[in-house]
Amino acid sequence: MPTILRNPFLPPHFFFTIALILCVKSLLFSSSYSIDEQGRVLLEWKKNLTSPRDVLRSWNPKAATPCSWFGVVCNSNGQVVEIILISLELLGTLPTNFQALKFLGTLVISDTNITGSIPKEFGDYMELNVLDLSRNFLKGRIPEDLCKLSKLQDLILHNNEFENIPTTIGNLTSLVNFQITDNSINGEIPKSIGMLKNLMVFKAGGNLYLEGLLPDEIGNCSSLTMLGLSDTGIYGALPPTIGMLQKIQTIHMYRSKLFESLPEEITNCSELQTLRLYQNGISGRIPRGIGKMKKLRILLLWLNLMDGDIPEGIGNCDELVLLDLSENSLTGPIPKSLGRLKNLADIQLSVNQLNGTIPPEIFNITTLIHVEIDNNRLWGEIPTNVGNLKNLRTFLLWGNNLTGTIPPSLPDCRNIILLDLSLNQLIGPIPTGIFAMKGLSKLLLLSNNLSGIIPPEIGNCTTLTRLRLSMNKLGGIIPSEMGNLKNLEHLDMGENLLVGGIPSTFSKLEKLESLDLRTNKLTSLPKILPKNLVLLNVSNNMIKGQIKPNIGELLKLTKLDLKNNRFYGKIPEEITYCEKIQYLDLSNNFFSGEVPKQLGTFASLDIALNLSYNQFSGQIPNELSGLTKLSVLDLSHNNFSGELGFLSELENLVTLNISYNNFSGKLPDTPFFQKLPESSIFGNQDLIIVSNGGPNPKENGGLSSISKEAIQIALPILISISAVLFFLGFYMLIRTHMAHFILFTEGNKWEITLFQKLDFSIDHIIRNLTASNVIGTGSSGAVYRITTPNGETMAVKKMWSTEETGAFSTEIEILGSIRHKNIIRLLGWGSNRNLKILFYDYLPNGNLSSLINVSEIGGAEWEVRYEVLLGVAHALAYLHHDCIPPILHGDVKTMNILLGHDFEPYLADFGIAKIVSTKSGNDSLETPLTRPQLAGSFGYMAPEQGSMIKITEKSDVYSFGVVIMEVLTGRHPLDPTLPGGVNLVQWVQDHFAAHQNKADIFDLKLRGRTDPTIHEMIQTLAVALVCANVKADDRPSMKDVVAMLEEIRHSELGRAATETDESKPEMAIVVQSPL
């Protein structure tokens, strides 16, 4: 061992100093090792993460402490107490090794794209009081171990794919805030929830498979202020214990499955401010003690099944701002006590059965912004003090029995944007002051008894976009000042007493798309028509003159209706420049000459071509064989001659009338022509139908084998016999209000069943089943508009064949047993040896196909299209999920979606629908339907419908996806102009897959919208792609589709536009495309 020599010149205390330094250094290294242990744990987790932008680059192993790292917070002792990582790009899973972070109280890893599940090790982080893992891609079950965290106060897990609420959730006795919205939670809410005495916020909305009853134990959560269970499968009644929640301020349970009546105990919730229970199945009366909820500000109970009256006590809810009780079955008067609600901004009572008069007390609430009391049974006059509502923006009273005049004070409501008083019995003139409302956009006064003139002051209302004054008694001339309405898009003044010419100033209406002036006494058209017109209807007037060549400048025109006027001359060739035309009616005029061969170039002409009752002559050009999409062709009562070989090319014809011309030769030998009624070919002496390879004189009334002399002898006899038979048939007609009666007409036994009182003659119905009255065709028949002698209008479907009774019986069986506000209502049916007919409500605005392509009723408006899609989705969800057994429609397409007075949708044509059985305990449909059982329409049919694979409710979902695509793109599913010859579904999928600008695919009429609206449309198109998945099992159910459509809506037009949706905090829904 070497000898250590001391330096005699060094003082003894020097060695002590060196030893002290070494000891301190050792202690310092020991202390830093503890801090390094915290950092080491974090760095180990970092190794398992991938970050494209290296957002955790500050997590440097060379750092002395993790306390300076991004997202890490330490206390004064250097111990990690918070980790907060929000809105970062992190790819990886949650940590399992944070046990070393013994003082960690807050762990927030939110909106970071983290995947996997919650490790059970999280139950070891005993100091946690805040755990936020929201907006990630976590899935699986929430471990029961998590419920060991006795200090946990905030558990925020929303917007993931978790599957359960732990049964031991009640062990989290410190829990204050529990948010688990928008996951995949199934099962029931555990009863142990009642053990959470400190719980203030419970949000579990957006979990469609969270079901069962709301447990009685919820009433034990005595600190609860917010309860959010919207868009869930929670069913049954609210428990009476809900009244024990003395601190509750907000209850959101809309779009769930609540039924039965509201418990009276809910009125004990004296702190309640917001109650949103809309779109459920709640029945019974509004609780009588509602007035005890003095702090209630928002009450939304719309679209339920509630009945009874509105309690007078509601006037004691002094703080009420928003009241919506619409779309129920409420009766009785509107309570006068509502006038005491001095803070009320919105009152919506639409679509009920309220009666009595409108209490003037309501119009003393000067804070009102929206008043919607349409579609009730209100009578009497509009209160004269309506002018008090200076802040009013929406005023809807349409669809009542209101009488009297429009109050002179109404123009004092100068901020009104939407005013609709239609479908009442109002009289008198339109107050001139209405047109001084500088923001008025939509004015609808149709179907009243208004009289007087259209005042010239109308030209001052330059903000108008829609003006509907039809079906009144307005007279005088159309003021030229209307040419100042530069923003006008839709103008409807039909069925009035207007005289004179249409002003030349109309040429300045550059935005006008729809011009409907039918059934007046107008005498002339302007020389120049608005060039943006899509629809022009001036039928049933006294207009005299020729069609000017500049008609060809209307390049967007899809419907031209000039019937029943005094037009003369030839059809100008320039009309063929209107390449988008689908409907052309020139009947009952004085047109002459030959039909231009260029008409055959109208590839878009698919609805109707009516040239009847004119003076046309010559042969029909063979070029008309190009009208291969045409459904209705009427050439009757002219002087046409020649053969009709071109008709064999018109494969889509459903109605043809060539009677009373000079046609000759043979009609094509096909079933369609063989079954043509004699009335459709009568009056063509040299025309015969070939049947089974030879002439069949009987099919053509025998005209080809009967001489002119024989006709002269036989015709008077036939007329006399027909008159006698008609008289006898009329005499035998039994006119009764019974629901069921049997009628004999012309020797055929008629059996007619009515589901409500109707007064009509069956002869009148049959006589009006003509081509001019066709309004649509479907898989099982043609539909006609019939107006009875007493002025009622209904739709009548004539079945294609009397031999095939399946479609007829199916439609009666299904529509006679179901009721839904978006499904066509069957009024009755009739049948004899030769005909089978069905009676329906007449819906005046056509079908969805017309809405898209003709745009006469707002087709350019996304808001209208969205509401139509949502209504149809609700109808299909009702058929699939609420009918027992479920019902398949089988032919969902735009032509089978009809539109009512306010463009509300009605699903129609149930001729090939199918009632199916269900598997026990399963919502899927069991009965396999092969093609002979269930048809459809090409382009809309799901792949399994064409290949005879098992067909389920998901086949309807596919068809609905195609409908969405058609609505958004404006393209027919089999549009031949699509590039590469693909169908619409493939075209949309390819466009999304190519990552092109998604807005480029939209209908031209939908472009140029605001960014939020474009976003809505893109999201809706994404829903369509999910629906149209080639694999049926991967398609959503219709109730899921409804939820998706409703949640992507973020516009001021939505009912809940002013609401804070608890189930979607700060985040719009994102629908993932299958591509």
Q: Are 590 and 542 in contact (CB under 8 A)?
A: no
Q: Are 565 and 585 in contact (CB under 8 A)?
A: no
Binding site residues, as ranges?
Answer: 798
- For the beta sheet containing 639-642, the strands, ordered from the edge strand earlier in sequence to the opposite edge, are 544-545, 566-569, 590-593, 615-619, 639-642, 662-667, 686-691, 694-695
Side-chain half-sphere exposure of 352, counting CA atoms within 13 A:
30
Range list of H helices, 828-971: 848-853, 862-877, 943-946, 953-969
Residue-wise DSSP of 348-379: E--SSEEEEPPPGGGGG-TT--EEE--SSEEE
Written as one string, the DSSP assignment of 1015-1046 is: HHHHHHHHHHHHHT-SSGGGSPPHHHHHHHHH
950: confidence class by pLDDT, cuts 50, 70, 90:
low
How far apart are alpha carbons 853 and 299 in whole angstroms?
A: 39
Query: How far are the Cα atoms of 442, 1009, 1014 from residue 1006, in angstroms, in the given order?
Result: 19, 7, 9
Q: CA-to-CA distance for 70 and 49, rounded, in angstroms?
A: 15
Q: What is the pLDDT of residue 457?
A: 96
Please tell me which residue in 891, 1003, 1040, 1061 is annotated as part of the active site: 891
- Only one residue has tokens 């239609």, namely 422
Whether the CB-CB separation of 840 and 825 falls below 8 Å is answered with: yes
Q: What is the pLDDT of residues 796-819, one digit of tens each?
A: 888 765 555 556 777 777 777 677
Please tell me the distance from the alpha carbon of residue 347 to that of residue 365, in angstroms, as a whole number.
11
Which residues fall in the annotated binding site for ATP?
Answer: 798
Query: Residue 713 burial by CB count (10 A; 0-12/13-18/19+): exposed, middle or buried?
Result: exposed
d(CA 296, CA 467): 38
Q: CA–CA separation, 745 vs 722, rounded Å?
A: 12
User: Could you tell me which residues are beta bridge partners of residue 540?
Assistant: none
Distances (CA, A) of 459 to 477, 482, 483, 577, 905: 14, 5, 7, 32, 33
How many CB atoms are closer than 10 A to CB 50?
10
Most confident of 498-507, 719-728, 788-797: 498-507
**Which single residue is written with the structure tokens 């306390």?**
67
pTM above threshold 0.95: no
Count of residues for the chain? 1075
Angle at 885 between CA 868 and CA 210, to 5 degrees: 70
pLDDT 10s digits, 6-27 = 444 445 544 444 444 444 444 4
Question: Residues near 700 by Cβ (< 8 Å), separated by ≥ 6?
Answer: 678, 681, 684, 687, 688, 689
φ/ψ (deg, to 5) at 136:
-125, -160
Under a CB-based contact definition with an 8 Å cutoff, are residues 517 and 540 in contact? no
| Lowest-confidence segment of 426-435, 955-964, 975-984 by average pLDDT | 975-984
Q: How far apart are CA 357 and CA 350, in angstroms?
A: 15
Task: Please report, to the nearest 10 degrees, the dihedral formed by the alpha carbons of residues 313, 315, 321, 324 taken in order.
Answer: 60
Per-residue pLDDT band for 1071 (boundaries 50, 70, 90) equals: very low
> What is the predicted pLDDT for the residue at 748?
55
Q: How confident is the model at residue 881 (pLDDT cuts 50, 70, 90)?
A: confident
Element (H, E) at 29: helix 13-47
Q: Which residues contact 13 (CB under 8 A, 6 or more apart)?
A: none
Query: Over pLDDT 70: what percentage of the chain?
Result: 83
Q: Which residues pair with 28 in a beta bridge?
A: none
Half-sphere exposure of 652 (CA within 13 A, CB side): 18
**Residue 651 binned pLDDT confidence (cut-offs 50, 70, 90):** confident
Nearby residues of 787 by Cβ (< 8 Å), 6 or more positions away: 768, 793
Site of tokens 């466009």? 991
DSSP state of 288: G
Element (H or E) spanning 381, and its range? strand 377-381
Taking a C-beta distance cutoff of 8 angstroms, is the pair 426, 451 a contact?
A: no
Please state, in angstroms and rounded to a whole number, the distance separating the CA atoms of residues 966 and 960.
10
750: left (phi over 0), alpha (psi -120 to 50) or beta: beta
- Active-site annotation holds for 492: no
Residue 253: per-residue pLDDT = 97
User: Residue 404's pLDDT band (boundaries 50, 70, 90)?
Assistant: very high
Q: Which residue has the tokens 């329409």?
A: 937
Bond before 549 cis per omega within 30 degrees: no
Residues 6+ apart with CB under 8 A from 1040: 208
The mean pLDDT of the chain is 84
User: 60-74, 189-203, 213-227: which range is least confident on average?
Assistant: 60-74
Q: What is the DSSP letter of 6?
A: P
- What whole-number distance in Å separates Cα of residue 961 and Cα of residue 974? 14
- Map out the domains of the chain with their CATH numbers: 291-428 (3.80.10.10), 707-842 (3.30.200.20)
Residues 6+ apart with CB under 8 A from 947: none
Taking residues 491-511, what's their average pLDDT? 96
Q: Tell me what pLDDT residue 462 has.
A: 96
Please give the backbone phi and psi of residue 356, each rounded to the nearest 5 degrees, phi first: 85, -165
Report whether pLDDT(1007) > 80: no
Percent of the chain with pLDDT over 90: 56
Cβ atoms within 10 Å, residue 881: 16
673 pLDDT higher than 90: no
- Rg from Cα positions in the chain: 36
Helix, strand, coil fractions of the chain, as percent rounded to 5? 30, 20, 50
* Closest residue by Cα to residue 446 from 120, 844, 883, 1020: 844
Averaged pLDDT for residues 165-193: 97
> What is the distance between the terminal CA atoms of the chain, rounded to a whole angstrom?
80
* Average of per-residue pLDDT across 286-315: 96
Mind listing the pLDDT tens digit for each residue in 242-272? 999 999 999 999 989 998 999 999 999 999 9
Average pLDDT over residues 570-584: 91
Could you tell me the pLDDT band of residue 861, with boundaries at 50, 70 and 90? confident
What is the per-residue pLDDT across 419-434, written as a single tens digit (0 to 9) for each?
999 999 999 999 999 9
Write down the residue that tokens 């923001």 correspond to: 439
Phi, psi angles (nearest 5°) of residue 523: -115, -15
Question: What is the mean predicted confidence (pLDDT) over 141-150?
Answer: 96
Q: Distance between CA atoms of 845 and 65, rounded to whole angstroms? A: 72
Distance, CA of 299 to CA of 284 (rounded, Å): 16
Q: Is there a contact between 134 and 110 (Cβ–Cβ < 8 Å)? A: yes
pLDDT attached to residue 900 = 87
Q: Residue 717's pLDDT band (boundaries 50, 70, 90)?
A: very low
Q: Nearest Cα to 219, choosing from 256, 246, 249, 187?
A: 246
Has residue 133 got a pLDDT over 80? Answer: yes
Q: What is the pLDDT of residue 1015?
A: 81
How far apart CA 688 and CA 702 sit, in angstroms, is 8
Phi-psi region of 10 (alpha: psi -120 to 50; beta: other; left: phi over 0): beta
Q: How confident is the model at residue 915 (pLDDT cuts 50, 70, 90)?
A: low
Give the least confident one: 600-604, 916-920, 987-991.
Answer: 916-920
Q: What is the pLDDT of residue 248?
A: 98
Range name among 47-51, 398-402, 890-894, 1042-1046 with the lowest pLDDT average: 1042-1046
Q: What is the DSSP letter of 405?
A: B
- Structure letter (DSSP) for residue 417: S
Query: Do residues 234 and 209 make contact, with C-beta atoms less than 8 angstroms apart?
Result: no
